[in-house]
Amino acid sequence: MRRFVSLLVVALLACRPGVDAPPAAGEMAAHWTGSATGAFRALAGARWCVRDTLLELFAIRNDTAVGFALLPKDSLTAGVYSIFSAETFIAFRPQATAAARWLDQVELKGFEGASGVVTVSDAGASGMSGTFEVSFRRSGAPDTLSLKGSFLRVPVGRAIEACGRANRPAGG
């Protein structure tokens, strides 16, 4: 009987979608290499900020999170959004910023996107889908990460009225 139960558990785990499998509708899946290696899969959310014409795309599971701020020209459309540091205001669009965090064995580590792209392949009524490939750096530490992944049919909601960038200059 114990052998049967063990085989059943192995079979169930084998059938479960892994973090390297493409995401299901409404999910984001990613894996990273660099100072650490790992993988992540979670339900994703997106919020459109009318005031600043930007979209926040994020996925959170426990202490692990991956997020992007996409700044299209005027409305969310399919296309390539290059990653830039959030520290400096850059006026041209389209562009994006990125952040990631997770709890390792002793501390919560935060990373900022340094370069890369988010490619939105679909931004319609059924949600938004796309891929990302981003290089991250950790402020004040030598840690770096390369993150690759995708998101599928993530529903887009409306952000709160006070949304937008803190460093947004008037008229920009």
Beta-carbon neighbour count of residue 171 at 10 Å? 5
Q: Tell me the two tokens of residue 143.
A: 């840690």
Q: How confident is the model at residue 104 (pLDDT cuts 50, 70, 90)?
A: confident
Domain parsing of the chain, residue ranges = 21-158
Task: Tell how many helices (H) and how many strands (E) occur in the chain.
Answer: 1, 10
Q: What is the C-alpha to C-alpha distance for residues 101 and 19, in angstroms, rounded to an integer?
A: 17
- The residue with tokens 């400096």 is 88
Q: Tell me the per-residue pLDDT of 55-74, one tens digit each, with 9 for 90 and over.
A: 999 999 999 999 999 999 98
Kindly list the distances between the CA atom of residue 135 and the CA atoms of 48, 98, 115, in Å, as whole numbers in the listed order: 25, 9, 5
